[in-house]
Amino acid sequence: MFGRKLPAAVLWDMDGTLVDSEEYWLSSEQSLANEFNGSWGVQDGLDLIGMSLYESSKVMKAKMGLQLEPDEIINRLTDDVVAQLEVSIPWRPGAQSLLRELKKRGVKTALVTMSMTRMAESVANQIPFEAFDVIVAGDMVTHGKPHPEPYLMAARLLGVAPEDCVAFEDSLTGLTSAEAAGTKAVGVTNIVPIPEQPGRIIWPTLEGVTLRDLRKLF
């Protein structure tokens, strides 16, 4: 028998969970590699999904043989992805409708992303209602995903206990972060597989998900 309480908060990953922006990142990484004649393949990009931008930039610098510093790589990629998002934001199915339902019921929400604050704010501002109470971005934390710090920070800023939160993630790296923080972590599959393991919650989509489904997690 499941409980009937709503989560104290719902914590959302952005890239691949709220918006289907992973293809934008992959394209931007490949463009950077092409510009500097660096070695980079599709699997290289997929391996970075969910990782902090700083760690990703170090991998890219080494793999591509770039002379750019990590901050320069991050800024170039972010500028390119933001430009693509300004043309078209591919929202993930069910995300906005569930966010709207959460806000109507007064459930706190946070956007927890390893992208930069300016990108997170740009995406959040495209939602036609105030969707998030808090944003935790990659340039706000010392340790990125898979470390639990981003989700612990989000819970602290919202004034709730992590174990009373639901977290949505599309990658193993992000899901590991949310699980380590003690949240009710839900993997929502997208372009990279999430390995199953005992006790892990994996949903195929957020389309059709309602507060009733979230209650069942407690």
Residue 106 has pLDDT above 90, yes or no: yes
pTM for the whole structure:
0.88
What length does the chain have? 218
146 inside domain:
yes
The alpha carbon of residue 6 and the mean position of all alpha carbons in its chain are separated, in whole angstroms, by 22
Q: How far is CA 215 from CA 66, 126, 212, in A?
A: 48, 28, 5
Single out the residue of 149, 209, 210 nearest to residue 183, CA to CA.
149
What order do you get walking across the sheet with 108-112 strand by strand?
134-136, 108-112, 9-12, 165-169, 184-188, 201-203
Our count of domains for the chain comes to 2
2 inside domain:
no
Residue 132 has pLDDT above 60, yes or no: yes
CB 170 within 8 A of CB 187: yes
Q: Are residues 83 and 113 in the same domain?
A: no
* Residue pLDDT, tens place only, 42-91: 899 988 887 888 889 999 999 999 999 999 999 999 999 999 988 889 99
Residue 6 has pLDDT above 60, yes or no: yes
User: Residue 53 has what pLDDT?
Assistant: 87
Question: In terms of residue numbers, what domain contains 143?
Answer: 9-20+91-215
Q: Are residues 161 and 202 in the same domain?
A: yes
User: Residue 196 has what pLDDT?
Assistant: 94
